[in-house]
Amino acid sequence: MRHHRPAGSVNNSRTRLLRHGTWQAAKWKQVQVGDLLMVESNCLLPADILLLSSSEPKGICYIETANLDGETNLKVRQSLPATSEHKQPSQLHSLQGQLVCEPPDDDTTKFKGSLYLDQVRYPVSLNQLLMRGTCLRKTSYVIGLVVYTGADTKVMKNSKPVPLKRSRVERESNRYFLLLLLILAFFTLFTTVANMVWTSRIGPFAWYITNNEISVGHFGAVLITCFIMFHTIVPISLQVTLEFMRIFQAYFIQCDLDMYDPIADIAAEARTSSLNEELGQVNFIFSDKTGTLTQNSMVFQGATVAGRMYGDAVSNGAEAYEFVSGVNSMRSEAAQGQNKDLDDFLSILTVCHTVIPERDSHDNLLEYSASSPDESALVYAAKDMGYELFERSLDTFVIVKVNGEMRRFEVLATFEFTSDRKRMSMVVRCPNGAIRVFCKGADSVIFSRLQSPHLVSETTNHMSKFAMAGLRTLCIAVGDMPQSEWSRLHTEYENARNDIERREAKLALVAEKLEKNLRLLGATAIEDRLQVGVPATINDLLLAGIRIWVLTGDKLETAVNIGYSCRLLQPEMEVRTLTGSSLSQVRSAVAELSHWLCGIASVKGKEPALVIEGESLSWASHQSVRNEFIDVCLQCRTVICCRVSPKQKSDVVRYVREAMPSAVTLAIGDGANDVPMIQESHVGVGLKGKEGLQAAAASDYSLSQFRFLKKLLLVHGAWNYHRVTIVILFSFYKNITIYVTAFWFALVSGFSGQVMFEKWTQALYNVFFTGATPFALGVWDRSCSVENCMRYPQLYRESQGSDRYNFKVFALWMLNGVYHSAIIFLCVLLAVSTGAVFSDGKTAGLYYLGSLVYAIAVITVGLKAGLEHTAWTGMSHLAIWGGIGNYLVFLVISSNFFPHAGGNFAEVVGYDRALFGSGMFWYLLMLVPALALTRDVAWKAYKKTCRKTLREEVFEMEKLRKDPSTVLFQGTYRK
């Protein structure tokens, strides 16, 4: 029902369809393929539609795709010129044609089809497709042809279930639940069989017991009775307690003001509560770079043009470089207008992109709408130097304003940037009539398409300096094309655009023919600054024993420099690089690295770090060398993978998980390319940044800044791990303590299945008398203060392993519960063995024995919870003493409630006066809990004195109000 209601609301949303020559209101569920649809401004699209026309000139419209990819920047779509003027119902009603397109799929990055109008074939692409879920902005209306509806739309095809993740503690607890079920089965079968033996031997003499003979019915009745008697050993209520506790823990994460970004107005968000304790056991962090470690706020800092470098990289003396901007010198030279190469360079920056200028009614520039921060930075930089993108019509023309002069570039062909091509090209007719190819992209693809190696050496050297300073680089090239050659290739280009099945492949072939004999102009240098607090956060996470791997698409030099800047790579580290263009080369390189690691292990103070290129990573992932490769990586303190694809990111995470099944991995990123990695890891953290909300939507926890990860792990993670494990162990213990007494009673009652507790009292044990105690432990208990958890990251190491929660710890807690139950029952049994006489002359019976055992067990369990508390709060006192008080109050009420509740509580009428008036009751109430807990107190005193952990020592210093740094390893913490 919860899912049906919102679905019904969406299906009944209103839109407008063209029916019988007029626009008529209709529901979304009535929209069919082939309908003509009108969508108005600020409305969501009900289906995937082919844009025919809009209220704007040339059929342009603006859409927001936040529901698809999380990006809030506006994107531009434009209809075909052949349909852009069809706006009136009469024109649309008379429109005759046919659309041929590909079958429905989940790829939101492409769309191929052909529109036939009056025997003319027009190719259509993603530029004409408006997908369901997008919102129309800054456009009064659009008119489109419905292509896909319902489950066939691209957004619905992408609606895949989020992978189910369970914490290591939860998986371990499930095995312990199975063990308790086996113990339950043993108690049930043993008691049943023992009753059969007792009946066969004693039954003939026990004349006072009716139906006391062995039979199938008798066996079945005893079996069921024993199961009911012992089934409460399994703490079913634990699951409810954990869920409520985790909800509170998630609430604390979301309300933490230290993880709130006031500038972006974004708070931390716990998108799941089932992994709270997993945050306290992280061993590996896999991080994206752009937008995760950096601000994803691109700033143009300089360039190299025709062999001249604008700006310079200056060493700061710490294995890293700072860049001195060359924008001013570049602006001055551009203003002179004498440098032809610089003119071509800036023209390409202004023309070769997909940026759209948005202007007001007075032609004043409002902003540039760009799909990526890189393109926006380049266009704004060109504008700053006098080359302003004035007007643009997709696939038609671009107008550039250069120092007051308007230059019109006619767009003849566009080959957009893809992760496979790593470049973007445009064929344009320049203002002087010449046809030229503008191209920008990665150096690895541009250099191989040059006519001559002229300027390659100088440009490479300059790009290396850019990369050393942590700047992102992009090569710029231009090519001249004769009219005759373009006439020939134009036909191939149009045929490729009209091919539905093999459009990408054919366009790629045409691009290969066009993108050749290019002339290198230079390269750009864009700075993406580190986020605030990233170096200190990484340093502290490393001190916490967490290994950090950076997986980025940047080039090697940029990744290495960022590594030094954020202190992931440090001067005392020895850094090696894994490169190779074939399987044999990578295999040899891995063997060499393995030998190097054996040698460096004997060098004191040296820590290995490894940098891996994307191509070599592809070969290293081969089955024949993968295990050796992962072994090498796991021996390194830091690993940086550059030039990697989204799939390679998720593969790296999977390889580590397979190699180290006990390790907990965390992946953090901010873009759609990080989603596979985030979903592959044990814990996924998404940053809400400029690349959209896809990473945050696919994550388990979302933040706004990388530095907030420190508190999420070192404080919330460590606290939650401590809380969850102690709650699980205590819940198992308290049930064993009270309900195993039933087994001891069975030994002295002929294994009859007789219960010594009143039924309501037994049922309310986990609800009113001990239910609040584990909740207080799980919500308010803590091991160290926030300040010390943040100040001393070394404390986190204690929660990374499984020392606090494993089978040995579980078994010891269970044996302790059995021990306490035995002490309680035997002491009470011995006390009442000679009988007990009340003040009114009556003698004690079965429920007197049960009430004594029950009261002592409640007090013992409450005091045990007090021993396990590390931070007493008001809620701790209320839970422990309130639970004991609840039982005493309930005892009074239940003893005086009959006959007001029918036949309930008839067995315990007047027991409050009998118990409270018995000296034995008060004597045992004080003696037995102290006797049972003597071993626990002695063991805790021994641990606190002789075997204190680092966290316990720091916590002790806190209580004494002393500086905890005196008990920490001096020199291991770097401020």
- Are 398 and 412 in contact, with CB atoms under 8 Å apart? no
**64 labelled as ligand-binding?**
no
| Whole-angstrom Cα Rg for the chain | 37
**472 labelled as ligand-binding?**
yes
Q: Which fold has domain 3-158?
A: 2.70.150
Going from the C-alpha of 260 to that of each of 14, 266, 269, 272, 277, the distances in angstroms are 38, 6, 10, 18, 21
Mean pLDDT of 165-173: 90
Closest CA to 670 of 688, 655, 653: 688
CB atoms under 10 Å from CB of 582, counted, come to 11
Query: pLDDT at position 854, please?
Result: 92
Report the alpha-carbon distance of residue 502 to residue 495 in Å, rounded: 10
Helix (H) or strand (E) holding 625: none
Picking from 395-409, 498-512, 780-794, 833-847, which range would have the lowest pLDDT averaged per residue?
833-847
**649 labelled as ligand-binding?**
yes
Q: Coil, strand, or helix at residue 423? A: strand
Mean pLDDT of 708-719: 94
- Confidence at 387, pLDDT banded by 50, 70, 90: very high
- Confidence at 820, pLDDT banded by 50, 70, 90: very high
**152 labelled as ligand-binding?**
no
Query: pLDDT at position 937, please?
Result: 94
Question: How many Å is the maximal CA-CA distance in the chain?
Answer: 122
Mean pLDDT of 480-508: 85
pLDDT tens-digit readout, 202-243: 766 666 666 667 778 888 888 998 998 888 888 888 888 899
Closest CA to 654 of 681, 616, 674: 681
- Confidence at 904, pLDDT banded by 50, 70, 90: low
Report the alpha-carbon distance of residue 37 to residue 897 in Å, rounded: 71
CB atoms under 10 Å from CB of 892, counted, come to 15
- Are 209 and 203 in contact, with CB atoms under 8 Å apart? yes
**741 labelled as ligand-binding?**
no
Domain ranges of the chain: 3-158, 264-293+533-709, 295-529
pTM of the shown model: 0.76
Report the alpha-carbon distance of residue 305 to residue 476 in Å, rounded: 9
- Confidence at 815, pLDDT banded by 50, 70, 90: very high
Sign of CA dihedral 73, 79, 85, 86: negative
**643 labelled as ligand-binding?**
yes
**554 labelled as ligand-binding?**
yes
**168 labelled as ligand-binding?**
no
- Confidence at 560, pLDDT banded by 50, 70, 90: confident
Closest CA to 846 of 756, 932, 907, 916: 756
Instruction: Assess whether the previous peptide bond of 646 is cis (omega < 30° from 0).
Output: no
Residue type, 785: S
pLDDT tens-digit readout, 919-969: 888 999 999 999 999 999 999 888 888 888 888 888 888 777 887 777 665
Residue 258 falls in the annotated catalytic set: no
Query: pLDDT at position 6, please?
Result: 43
Mean pLDDT of 169-182: 92
Q: Please identify which of the residues 288, 344, 374, 700 carries the catalytic annotation.
A: 288
**516 labelled as ligand-binding?**
no
Does the pLDDT at position 899 exceed 80? Answer: no
Q: Which fold has domain 295-529?
A: Calcium-transporting ATPase, cytoplasmic domain N (3.40.1110)
Look at phi and psi of residue 599 and say left if phi exceeds 0, alpha if psi is from -120 to 50, else beta.
alpha
**289 labelled as ligand-binding?**
yes
Task: Output phi, psi for 535, to 5 deg.
Answer: -60, -45
**440 labelled as ligand-binding?**
yes
Please report where in the chains the tokens 């740094």 appear, as a residue: 965
- Confidence at 4, pLDDT banded by 50, 70, 90: very low
Does the pLDDT at position 71 exceed 50? Answer: yes
Does the pLDDT at position 358 exceed 80? Answer: no
**552 labelled as ligand-binding?**
yes
CATH superfamily of 264-293+533-709: HAD superfamily/HAD-like (3.40.50.1000)
Of residues 933 and 646, the one with the higher pLDDT is 933
Report the alpha-carbon distance of residue 291 to residue 372 in Å, rounded: 12
Please report where in the chains the tokens 């002229």 appear, as a residue: 454
DSSP annotation of 103: P
Query: pLDDT at position 920, please?
Result: 86
- Confidence at 2, pLDDT banded by 50, 70, 90: very low
Residue 170 in tokens:
């939860």
Going from the C-alpha of 870 to that of each of 62, 486, 729, 777, 813, the distances in angstroms are 58, 79, 15, 9, 18
**375 labelled as ligand-binding?**
yes
CB atoms under 10 Å from CB of 69, counted, come to 19
